[in-house]
Structure formats: C-alpha cells, structure tokens
Amino acid sequence: MTTHFNYPTPAVQEELRKIAAAIVAPGKGILAADESTGTIGQRFVKIGAENNEENRRLYRQLLFTADKALADNISGVILFHETLYHKDDNGTPFPKLLQDLGIIPGIKVDTGTVKLFGTEDEVTTQGSSTLNFLMWKNARSGSWDRPMTTGIHISLIRAGLLDICGTPSWAYHIILPDGDHDLEQAQKVAETVLAAVYKALNDHHVFLEGTLLKPSMVTAGQSCPKKYTPQEIAAATVTAFSRTVPAAVTGITFLSGGQSEEEATVNLDAINKFNGKKPWPLSFSFGRALQASVLKAWGGKPQNIKAAQNELLKRAKANGLAALGKYEQGSITGKAAGEGLFVKNHAY
Ligand code: 13P
C-alpha cells in the first residue's frame, strides 16, 4: 500500500468512464453468456442437446442475432473465451456482430476456479486476458458461519489485475446461496466481503469510475426455512451496498445466482423501487435468469430458433424495466419464468 501513485491520464479516465456508463445506461444491463464448456454442457443436457463446439456456436449465434431490439435492453454481453473466436453462418465474428448492434462485447478473464489450500470450501480464480471490458472474479465460499478470510485476503492480490488492465473492469464477487442462513446473516457476510473488496481496490489504486461491481443480491440461503419478500431482500441489499460500495463506482450489475427468471426480475425491480441511498445505477448481469426460457424454447432444434429468440427479447425487456423499477410482477411471461435455477455448489 502506497500513497505515491499516478491516476490514469484524463483521456484514459474519460474512456473508461464512458464505457462503464454505457453498460449501465438507463434500462440496460448485461447478458452473461460466458458459461464455460462444462457449465453450458449441464444446460444442454437438460434440453437434450449435445455439448459440442458447433452446438455451442449455434446457441450463441441464436442469442446474438435475436433482433436489433435486443440492444434496447442489453448493453453488453460477456463472452466465454471460445465464443470470442466464433463466427456466425455468414462469417461475421461474434464480437463484431454485437458491436454492429450497438452492444459492447466483453470477456470473462478467469480460466476457472481452484480450491484455496487450507480453507473449507473456498475457491478463487486463475487466468487473465482483456477486451472491451473484462470481468475480475473473486473468491467465494459455501460457508456462512465462517467468513471467507482467506478468500478475502486473496482479493487483495487479485485487485492488482484491475490495476494493470487499461480496460473498464468489473469487480465480481459471488456469494453462493447454498445453506440455510437467514437474510440478516446474508447481509452481514455481504457487508464484510464488499468492504474487503473495496479496500483491496483502493490499495491497488483502481480507478473506480471505470469499474462496475457484479455481486450477488443479498438473499437468504436456499434452504432457509424463512421466506422473505422482495421488499425485504431489497432493503438488505441496498443497506449492505450503501455501507460498503463507494459512490464513485459507476454501476452495480447483479448476477441472478440461481433465482428463477421471474424472481430475479422482481427482486431487481424491488431493489430499484426501494427508497434508500443508491448513488449508482442498479442493473443486471444475468446468465441463468436471461437464458432459462431461451434454452427451453430452443431445445437444440433449428425450427425453434425464432421462438427461443423471442424468449430472450421478453426477458431482456422485463429486466430492462426492473432496472428502472418499472416492472410489474407477472406482466412478462416466459417458458421457464417460474422455474428454480439453483444449482448446488454452482461453479461459475
Ligand atoms: P447467473 O446469473 O446465472 O448467476 O450467472 C451470471 C454470471 O455471473 C455469469 O458470468
């Protein structure tokens, strides 16, 4: 930690700020299509599609050619490494396809998680690369009784990555929903973890205005016997974030974390409707909650492509409204809207 360091040049600051702000423009958020080969394979199994490279290309092509209206609510797409090099049937590279729609392509920088030696269930990520924006994924733990001390300290080291990359970046912290902890405990863990994340980013002199935060919403554990309303979830989330996330951060884009599509949308909407201190746009960066209906409608069959694309447009619209606090529960239906998407010990 030093007090002798340089801020990025004004031109770099402006560029970073501009891209980060475009991603959280009003009513817009991110489509997280960065499932690793293994993870997308688990989703393909459910719809009876084979997990081969051509099917993965066809599926992502379906997403990225849905319609130009997709850009009304989707500002960016996170790609998996393999997808970065894929082309559509006409030979256009996927990143170009997205840029032509006015959507910013980004990349997940890690190459998967590794177990942290000497911890109970904690993992952290490895690897890096860059594009228009990049995502820095941090450690996580399935344990709610033991704060993730080791993972938190690793974050001090990982924060250096954002420091050296001249791209708008995302601090990404996952708190898994496994367990029976209640909402209050979830809020305490979120506050502890987020405070450590921003201490680490400060130690590395990260230009916060060029960053977004991608966190879990504060929700009780999957097996908690007590159920909470979207308003209670919103209160816990906004309170935790207002205590720990600096106002300089350009935006917060939540992951869906195993909530059903409708649940994730309703909770995001409640967060935006909640009357609290919220100096940043609060939007989405959903994977499962934007794709469950799409996958179900597609079923790996070419004749279903249009129907699947429609599902994506509907979910994007619903979440765009939720990012503005203007979604009405149940007003936009989906083929899998109510289905739980929780995966035990999910590996992102
Ligand atoms: P989920 O919305 O499925 O939790 O995943 C989003 C994500 O983080 C992928 O990058």
One DSSP character per residue, 78-112 reads: EEPHHHHT-B-TTS-BHHHHHHHHT-EEEEE----
Tokens 């993965």, residue located: 56
Does residue 32's CB lie within 6 angstroms of at least one atom of ligand 1? yes
Other C-beta atoms closer than 10 Å to the C-beta of 4 total: 5
List phi, psi (to 5°) of 170. Answer: -125, 125
Does residue 134's CB lie within 6 angstroms of at least one atom of ligand 1? no
Cα-to-centroid distance, 4 and ligand 1 (Å): 37
- Identify the pLDDT of residue 41: 96
Q: Which pLDDT tens digit goes with each residue over 80-113?
A: 989 999 999 999 999 999 999 999 998 876 666 6
* C-alpha distance from residue 61 to each of 94, 95, 206, 326 (Å): 8, 11, 35, 30
- Identify the pLDDT of residue 121: 64
Does residue 315's CB lie within 6 angstroms of at least one atom of ligand 1? no
Q: Which pLDDT tens digit goes with each residue over 194-233?
A: 888 888 888 878 889 988 888 899 999 888 999 999 999 9
Cα-to-centroid distance, 242 and ligand 1 (Å): 23
Cα-to-centroid distance, 193 and ligand 1 (Å): 18
Strands 29-33 and 282-286: parallel
- Domain definitions of the chain by residue range: 10-324
**Among the listed residues 193, 188, 272, the one whose alpha carbon sits nearest the alpha carbon of residue 236:** 188
Kindly state the DSSP code that residue 333 receives in the 8-state scheme: -
Probe ligand 1: pick from 110, 213, 268, 348, max atoms within 8 Å of CB? 348
Does residue 78's CB lie within 6 angstroms of at least one atom of ligand 1? yes
Other C-beta atoms closer than 10 Å to the C-beta of 117 total: 7
Does residue 34's CB lie within 6 angstroms of at least one atom of ligand 1? yes
Q: Helix %, strand %, coil % for the chain, to 5? A: 45, 15, 40
Cα-to-centroid distance, 57 and ligand 1 (Å): 19
Kindly state the DSSP code that residue 140 receives in the 8-state scheme: B
* Cβ contact 71:103 at 8 Å: yes
Does residue 257's CB lie within 6 angstroms of at least one atom of ligand 1? yes
| 317: annotated active-site residue | no
Length of the chain as a residue count: 348
* Cβ contact 76:104 at 8 Å: yes
Tokens 């898994």, residue located: 176
* Cβ contact 190:215 at 8 Å: yes
Which residues of the chain fall short of a pLDDT of 50?
A: 128-132, 134-161, 163-166, 168
**Among the listed residues 199, 251, 243, the one whose alpha carbon sits nearest the alpha carbon of residue 218:** 243
Probe ligand 1: pick from 60, 110, 176, 255, max atoms within 8 Å of CB? 255
The residue annotated as part of the active site, out of 28, 214, 314, 317, is 214
Does residue 284's CB lie within 6 angstroms of at least one atom of ligand 1? no
Cα-to-centroid distance, 260 and ligand 1 (Å): 12
Probe ligand 1: pick from 109, 288, 295, max atoms within 8 Å of CB? 288
Does residue 348's CB lie within 6 angstroms of at least one atom of ligand 1? yes
Phi-psi region of 51 (alpha: psi -120 to 50; beta: other; left: phi over 0): beta
Q: Provide the strand spans (E) within 15-103.
A: 29-33, 74-79
Radius of gyration of the chain (CA): 19
The ligand 1 atom nearest the CA atom of 285: 6
Strands 29-33 and 74-79: parallel
Class of domain 10-324: alpha beta
- Identify the pLDDT of residue 193: 84
